[in-house]
Amino acid sequence: MSIETVKKVVELSSSLHGGCVHCNASTVDSDDGIAVGVNHYVTEHGYRVLHVGQQSSWAPDGKQLWHSTVALLGHDNPPADKKPPEIIVGGNS
């Protein structure tokens, strides 16, 4: 896969917790950081690692500098994203 053929990029960060965009599996582990998510996307969905690095940002109060590890993963023929949950307003009770 060359960078020119990448059709979808997924970002994982040790400061953000969420699930896999395809199957909702956990992508961050308190002990292993983002390694769980990187391994999941690579082995389960065929992604390739594009970049791993560090990101720094200020805390909301502007007094602390936060550091996190980030990974960018790419796929040239990604599987479909999971469907968002259906929200029913005013349904029968």
| Count of the separate structural domains present in the chain | 1
pLDDT of 51-72, one tens digit each?
A: 999 999 888 898 999 899 999 9
What is the C-alpha separation between 42 and 20, in angstroms, rounded? 12
Whole-model pTM: value is 0.79
At 92 the pLDDT is 65
Q: How far apart are CA 61 and CA 74, in angstroms?
A: 33
Residue 91 resides in a domain: no
Angle at alpha carbon of residue 66, lines to 74 and 11, rounded to 5°: 10
Domain residues for 45? 3-75
Q: How far apart are CA 43 and CA 46, in angstroms?
A: 6
Answer yes or no: is 28 within a domain. yes
